[in-house]
Structure 1
Amino acid sequence: MEAEEVSKKWEGKVSAKVRGPRAEQVWTLLQEFFNFHNYFPSLATCHGIQGISGELGCVRYCSGSSIRSSDGHGGSWSKERLVAVDAKQRSFSYEILESNIGFKSYVATMKVVDIDEVEEGELNGLCVIEWSFEVEAVEGWELDDLVSMYQAGLVCMARRIEDLLGSR
């Protein structure tokens, strides 16, 4: 009788500050589930393939070069379904349905947190984008490398959002 191998789950969380715009302004951009390519570096395309952007159950197709494909050739792609939205908490969760990047049982949450910051006697807008995920361990990968890649991408995304909203 063969012993069953239990798949190890990886969990990670990264965050990036967005200076200038308030959380509501950032949330307005991020809640458009089909427009992630407008803000995330190395994501060439993101478009809806089912449902209405931002509504539960809608599905998007994303492709780019931020994560290598599982066969090591060409760009990566994924089909992702929106599984939860909480406008009051400014958060949404999604799962990967299909991909060529080797992720199984992938669920992620993005959240925008409003923070007040005082600089030189003035109250300035500051919010934080948090991106957490849980995924079945991927053979040939290290969790720390995945977290580092997400962190770098999220920091670039925060700078793009600042530029777009005229905060820098």
Structure 2
Amino acid sequence: MEAAASWRGSVRAVVAGPTPDQAWALLGDFCSLNRWVPSVQTCRRLEGTDGFPGCVRYCAGPVNKAAAPGEAATGWSKERLLEFDPAGRRYSYEVVETNKGFGRYRATLCVEPDPAGCAVAWLFEADPVRGWTLEGFVGFLEELARGVAKRLEEEIMALQDDAPALQVL
């Protein structure tokens, strides 16, 4: 029997207003996913040093399409940082353990320039995920990226509103 083809894809969401550097200053913290991804309620470092390859984070939230009827719907994963490039405003990671139906999953999160301000992009490669179709999975990631963009806009604009005005003497 032939193995199923790998899934590959990318999603992108525009963040209106903030610069790439402003967005990266917040998203570049590997263990702060719960602040930016609406479906992640918990994100904490389990081992290693944040921002250095080998760091492992634990993420959990209410989305788990792989749960069988009667199983807890809470999904969790342990994810290892593979590459971290602050100058390029990107990092890559892989899922090392999960209850979400993933086999092999590797992704890169990056912040890119955009005429409106910046954009958040996820590129991924994975084995087919139990409980999902490729189209459904990409749709979920698109919704996730839009949620991240919205939270970044709100957070960065709030920070700018709270910043003291410069006085010219």
TM-score by length of 1: 0.87
Q: Moved runs in structure 1, 4+ residues, more than 4 A? A: none
Higher strand fraction: Structure 1 or Structure 2?
1
Match runs of 1:18-29 below 5 Å: 18-29=15-26
**1:31-110 → structure 2 map (5 Å cutoff):** 31-72=28-69, 73-74=71-72, 75-110=74-109
Relative to structure 1, the CA distance from residue 139 to residue 62 in structure 2 (aligned partners, 3 Å threshold; closer, same or farther) is: closer
**CA distance, structure 1, for counterparts of residue 98 and residue 2 of structure 2:** 23
Match of 2:124 among 106, 110, 133: 133
Residue 11 of structure 1 deviates from its aligned partner by: 0.8
Aligned residues: 157
Residue number in structure 2 paired with 1:166: 157
Distance 1:67 1:83, change over 3 A: same
Q: Report the equivalent of 1:10.
A: 7
Distance 1:14 1:162 in 2: 18
Range that drifts further, 54-63 or 138-147: 138-147
Q: Choose which of 121, 144, 149 in structure 2 pairs with 1:153.
A: 144
- Counterpart position of 1:123: none
The structural deviation recorded for 1:139 is 3.8
Given that 2:49 and 2:55 are in contact with CA atoms closer than 8 Å, whether structure 1 keeps it comes out as yes
Mapped partners of 1:43, 1:69: distance in 2:
16
Instruction: Report sequence identity in percent.
Output: 36
Amino acid at match of 2:128: A
**Residue 83 of structure 1, CA deviation:** 0.2
Query: TM-score, with normalisation over the residues of structure 2?
Result: 0.87
Runs of at least 5 residues in structure 2 that lack an aligned partner in the other structure: 162-169
* Deviations 1:103-162 (CA, angstroms, capped at 9, x unpaired): 111000011011235xxxxxxxx1011111111012442000000011111101111111
SS at match of 1:165: helix
Q: Which residues of structure 1 form unaligned runs of 5+?
A: 118-125
Deviation at 1:71, TM superposition (A): 3.1
